[in-house]
Amino acid sequence: MSQIKRVRGFQDIYGENSKKYRYVVDTARDIFQRYNFEEIILPVVEDVSLFLRSVGEDTDIVQKEMYTFEDRGGRQVALRPEGTAPTVRAFIEEKMFAQGGYKKLFYEGAMFRYERPQAGRYRQFHQIGAEILGTGSVLADVEMIKMVNDLLDTLGIETTLEINTLGSFEDRKEYIKQLKDYLKGVKDKLCKDCQVRMDRNPLRVLDCKNESCREATAEAPTLLQFLSPERKERFEKLKEYLSQLGIKYKVNPRLVRGLDYYTDTVFEFTTDKIGAQGTVAAGGRYDTLVKQLGGSDTPALGFAAGVERLMLLVDQLPSEKPTVVVIPISQQYEGKGLQTADILRKRGIKTELMLKEGSLKSKMKTAGKLGAKAVVFVSDRYEIKDMETGSQQEATSPEDMLGILGKVIT
C-alpha cells in the first residue's frame, strides 16, 4: 500500500518547531494581555460573502487564494483567509458595541490561502492578530504599533517599521484619477496582473513586488500630496508620538497594503532575512469596515502577523525546565514510581516516568536521550542521580527526595 503524504502547502509542526510555535504564540498572548486585550476564538468557516464584502472582490485573496466550497446545505462558505473580517462580523453579531466604549480583541489560529508555498508561507498558516473597535484616536494607532514593536523586541526579531497614510476615501478620489492616468502611460511595462489592477484597484499596482512594476511606478504620484489638512495633521501626530516612544520608522509612500478596507494609518514591520516577501507583521486603520458589514459607523484598526514567519526569525528559545526521569528498579515498585512522578509534577517539576521496558542500562540510555538532568531510582528508598556529575544520593522519604532533587536541578 502506498504511503499517504500530507497535502502540498500544509505542514506538520513538531519537535523544535512546535516549541518555537508555542513560544511565539504564548509570548504574543502575554503581551496582548498586558495591553488589556481580550481573546476571541473565531470559527474556521465563514460565509464567503464576508470576505467578498470586506477584503474586496478585486484582491488576490478573493480572486486567487480563497478555499471556498458549497456545504451540504447549499451554502457557499470559505475557510477563513484572514482574521479581521471575522472579528468585525463577531463584533456586530454578538452586539459587543452595546457594551459602550471601545473593544480590544486578539486572536490566534489557522488561516487558509491557496498561494504558492514559500519560506514561512503555507496554504494553511497561523496568524496572531489584534483589533481595536470603537475609537478613532491616533493614540490607538500608536498603541497598536508599540504593542507589535514590543512583541518583536521580546522575540529578539530585528525589523524595519514602515508607515504610511491612505487618508480618507474622499482624499483618494482625485489621487486615484491621477494615478490611473499615470499608469496608462506605463501599462506596457506592468505585469499582467497589474494591467488588470490598474483599472479596478490601481493602488494595488504600487504594492506589486514585481521589479518591472516597481521600476515603472517609481515616479508615480503619491497619496501624501492629496491629503486634506486634517489627515496630514493626524499623520504628523502619529509620527510625533512614535518618536516620543523611541520607535524608529520610515515613511513609505508606496505602502498601501493589499486589502480594500484600509484608511488612514497603514504599517508594516519588515525584514530582509526571509527573502523578497519580507513582511512579518502589518496592519492599519479601517474606519468604514464595520458599517460596510452591516454595523453602525465605527472606527477601528488592527494588525496580524504570521506565526510561521516569526518562527523563522526566532534564533533562540528560552531555556527549558530541567527534566527528571523516574525509574522504578523493578515491576514491584511501578506503583510507587507512578506516585513519585505524581509528587514531582504537582511541584511543577518536568517529569518523565520511564515507560521503556528492558534492562536498567537501556533505561538509563533512554534517560540520556530524553535530556534528563537527574534520575530518581525508586525502590524501598529513593536514589537521586545527578546526570552531569554522576554523583548519587539516597533519601528515605518523599520530602528528603524533593530536598536533594531541588539542589540537583537548580
Per-residue confidence (pLDDT) for residue 274, from 0 to 100: 81
Is the distance from CB of 125 to CB of 111 less than 8 angstroms?
A: yes
Cell for 134? 470603537
Per-residue confidence (pLDDT) for residue 120, from 0 to 100: 65
Per-residue confidence (pLDDT) for residue 175, from 0 to 100: 86
Instruction: Give the tens place of pLDDT for each residue, 284-335.
Output: 999 999 999 999 999 999 999 999 999 999 998 998 899 999 999 999 999 9
Q: Does 65 have pLDDT greater than 60?
A: yes
Q: Does 171 have pLDDT greater than 80?
A: yes
Is the distance from CB of 363 to CB of 356 less than 8 angstroms?
A: yes
Say how far apart CA 106 and CA 226 lie, in whole Å. 34
Say how far apart CA 226 and CA 231 lie, in whole Å. 10
* pTM confidence score: 0.88
Say how far apart CA 106 and CA 55 lie, in whole Å. 19
Is the distance from CB of 111 to CB of 65 less than 8 angstroms?
A: no
Distances (CA, A) of 363 to 264, 342, 392: 63, 20, 17
Name 377's Cβ contacts closer than 8 Å, sequence gap at least 6. 327, 329, 383, 384, 385
Give strand pairing partners of 284: 266, 302
Q: Which of 114-118, 201-205, 234-238 has the lowest mean pLDDT?
A: 114-118
Number of other residues whose CB lies within 10 A of the CB of residue 15: 8
Q: How confident is the model at residue 210 (pLDDT cuts 50, 70, 90)?
A: confident
Q: How confident is the model at residue 241 (pLDDT cuts 50, 70, 90)?
A: very high
Read off the pLDDT of each residue in 176-181 and give the average, rounded to a whole number: 88
Per-residue confidence (pLDDT) for residue 384, from 0 to 100: 97
Q: Does 393 have pLDDT greater than 90?
A: yes
Ordered domains of the chain (ranges, CATH): 16-167+227-313 (3.30.930.10), 323-409 (3.40.50.800)
Is the distance from CB of 47 to CB of 75 less than 8 angstroms?
A: yes
Per-residue confidence (pLDDT) for residue 276, from 0 to 100: 62
First-to-last C-alpha distance (Å) of the chain: 50
Per-residue confidence (pLDDT) for residue 56, from 0 to 100: 67
Is the distance from CB of 143 to CB of 265 less than 8 angstroms?
A: no
Say how far apart CA 158 and CA 282 lie, in whole Å. 15
Per-residue confidence (pLDDT) for residue 170, from 0 to 100: 85
- pLDDT, the chain, mean: 92
Q: Does 362 have pLDDT greater than 60?
A: yes
Q: Does 399 have pLDDT greater than 60?
A: yes
Cell for 400? 528528603
- Please name the helix (run of DSSP H) or strand (run of DSSP E) that holds residue 401, with its range, or none: helix 398-409
Per-residue confidence (pLDDT) for residue 248, from 0 to 100: 97
Instruction: Give the tens place of pLDDT for each residue, 27-44.
Output: 999 999 999 999 999 999
Per-residue confidence (pLDDT) for residue 63, from 0 to 100: 66
Per-residue confidence (pLDDT) for residue 253, from 0 to 100: 87
Q: Does 265 have pLDDT greater than 80?
A: yes
Q: Does 58 have pLDDT greater than 60?
A: no
Count Cα atoms within 13 angstroms, Cβ side, for 337: 20
* Helical residues (DSSP H) of 156-202, grouped into ranges: 169-185, 192-200
| The dihedral sign for the CA sequence 123, 125, 131, 137 | negative
Give strand pairing partners of 398: none
